[in-house]
Structure formats: structure tokens, C-alpha cells
Structure 1
């Protein structure tokens, strides 16, 4: 089963790795994988109804195994999509299952929530380790451009925003990353951040331009 290298696939890989084998994967595994991918796609483009349906389908498939640890991993997929869209809830779906998750998954949840203080970077997926280690050692600027996967970049930008490390240039980078992918939900969220900053700076021209762009994104063409 081919999985793209992305923030989504970090969690999907965790899910699939628990049951990997040479024979074809069981139906629940394939179904859950497909449902989680469909959830992420629908959520990011702003189709809440389909996203909710697909995530419920994934949960139902995983629940058939009686494995709370696998369900916790699926909740990390949802938490990542929400974080990328600046919808922060401390990974509410994951928290009741955290006691059944391993240290790596709990560390990933902390990463998503911008809780990097004391976080062991070695427990995180490879793409995030250097950034967390640098942040723990100093107040150096982050390097969003070093994260090639779009969703992973947005997740990291959101985490940096939560812990107060995100720079204005990185806000622009996150916005244009969402724009390039056609992801309406995170694009509107990041444009909103830009609009708030322009308003706070008293830059009415910039704010007006940003809000015109937000209107375009939020109003699909007939």
C-alpha cells in the first residue's frame, strides 16, 4: 500500500505499521486508510459534511479491532488537519485515548499543539526533529521552507504560531502553501491571520486587499 510522505502519512504510517505483513492487508485496514485519506482531503477543501462522514467511517473500521491505540493514531490525523487550519482544541479526540498511545504518539500530539517545552525531538517523525531541537536550544528562526510536504509545513506553522515563534514571512509562506494546494479551509484561516496583522498595523490598503481575497475563497463560483 503506497503512502505519500506527508503529515497525514505520518499518522497513517503509524496506523498501518501496527498490522503490516506480507499478505494483503485485512479489509478494515484498507478501508480505514482510504477513509482517513478522504477525510483529510475533504476537510482541507472545506467539505465538512463529507469529512465528518469519512472520519466516522474510519473510526468504525478501526473500532472493529478493539484497539484503542490504533484509534488514537487516527485521531492524530484529524488533529493534524485541524491544526493546519488553525482550529486548535488540544487534540480533544486524542486525549481520552492518550493512555493507550505510545510515547511517540503523545509527543506528536504535543508537537501539533505547539507544546515543545521539554519535548524529546527523537520521538517525533524525522521531518520535525531538527526544528524542535533548534527551538529547544535557542530562539533561532524556524525554517519552514525546509519542510517540503505542504500539510506538514502548515502543521508546523500552526505549532510555531501557538508557541509564539512564527515570523511574518512564515505567515506568508503558510498562506501561499495553502493557496497552492487549493485548500480553502486553511487558506481562509491564514488569510485571517494576515488580515488581523494588517488591521493591527493600521495598513488599511493591505487589509482590504486580503479581505477581497478571502471573499473570493469563501464564495465558490457558480
Structure 2
């Protein structure tokens, strides 16, 4: 999550993530950073209750600065975790702050919504610029797992996610142990198998979905979704 966190929560080394050298960062910076990291991890693992609680803590810390730009980045990071999990909905928290947000944050919000204007692409982080072509090779070149899943989610939202992109997203979510995006991307794969008439592959994927949702018979798994229809 580091690459996304650094872009979205820091305009400079002195924003939410402390520099490796120099004066000690104020407590609010470290508290906000830790809370946002826990919030995103909880969401990806499927724990909505902890996600909401930790995001509330982060929002409280950031609001103590009175800075709309920092609050906008926190809201964008929260929305990025949704896009990575194929929860494709308006980023309401950011939209309330849009008029006071810097150009880079507005461009990133448009990117998450699949509405980025070509002239604003240069405002995005390098990883997102590189993946704009929809090439799975560029997706694999994104080292940060969250950034990779967000890029895949945007490609899916804009109708440019090839089966190879979907497979890469499944592999990334699985390797991180991120239940929520894994269920979403497996659901997409199952629907693709249905459309291709591959009943055995669709059945295999649904067994994997069931295993991810319910690791033990009769035990409820974490809340998740089988994914949106492509």
C-alpha cells in the first residue's frame, strides 16, 4: 500500500508521512498514517466494522489541521480501496471537498471514476500513467499491490480489462490475502467462464469463491461479494 499511501496522503515529505530525516513529525501525522493503513487493510480483508472505526480516527486526526487537501487525500485513499475491490460508486467523501482540492487530487478522483481527461494524465502517479493503456505487462510492472489492483479496477470500469488483467488482479489479491477484492475478481472470472460456455471452469471458480467466503463448513466468512457483472 506504500505507493498509494505516499501519493494520496502526502503532497510533500511533511504531510502525513514523516520524512526519514529531519525534525520529529507531529503526533497527528503518525496517528493518521497508522489509522489509514489499518483502515485500508481492514477493508481489503473484509472487515467493514474495523475499517469504519479506523477511518474515523484518521479523519479526526487530519481534521485537526483544517486542511481540505489532506482530508481529500484521505477520502481518495478510502475510495481507491473500493475501486480495487470493484465497488464502483461515487467517491462522495471527496466530492464534498472537490472545490478546495488541488488539481492532482481532482485528477485522481476522475481517474478512479473512469473519467480522467487526457490532458490531466500527467497529474497522476507514474504507476497509474503507465497502466492507462490497459496492457497487462504495464500492470505487472506496478510493484505496489494496492496500486496494481486500483489500476485493474479502473481498467474494468472503463471496459478495458482483458482476461489477463482479471487474472493478474486475482493473483495479486490472493497473494496479499485480501479477501474482499479476491472475491470480486473471482466473481468476474466466473462470469467470463459462463459467457465462454466453460462450465467446468465456472464451477471450479465458484468452488474457490465458496472456499474464500467460508473456510470451514457451517462457519460464516467475512462479508464479500462475488463481483459485479462485467
TM-score between both structures, scaled by the size of structure 2: 0.85
Gaps of 5+ in 2: 220-230
Task: Summarize the Cα distance change of 1:28–1:191 in structure 2 as closer, same or farther, 3 Å threshold.
Answer: same
1:1-222 aligned within 5 A? 5-14=2-11, 17-18=14-15, 22-132=22-132, 135=133, 141-142=135-136, 143-221=138-216
Task: Summarize the Cα distance change of 1:80–1:147 in structure 2 as closer, same or farther, 3 Å threshold.
Answer: same
Superposition deviation, residue 90 in structure 1: 2.4
Q: Distance in 1 between matches of 2:207 and 2:119?
A: 40
Q: Distance in 2 between matches of 1:110 and 1:180?
A: 28
Contact 1:8–1:151 (8 Å) recurs in 2:
no
Contact 1:31–1:58 (8 Å) recurs in 2:
yes
Contact 1:32–1:58 (8 Å) recurs in 2:
yes
For the aligned residue pairs, the C-alpha RMSD in angstroms reads 2.0
Gaps of 5+ in 1: none
Superposition deviation, residue 145 in structure 1: 1.1
- Aligned length, in residue pairs: 213
Contact 1:199–1:207 (8 Å) recurs in 2:
yes
Superposition deviation, residue 6 in structure 1: 2.3
Superposition deviation, residue 25 in structure 1: 1.4
Superposition deviation, residue 130 in structure 1: 3.0
- Segment drifting more, 76-85 vs 64-73: 64-73
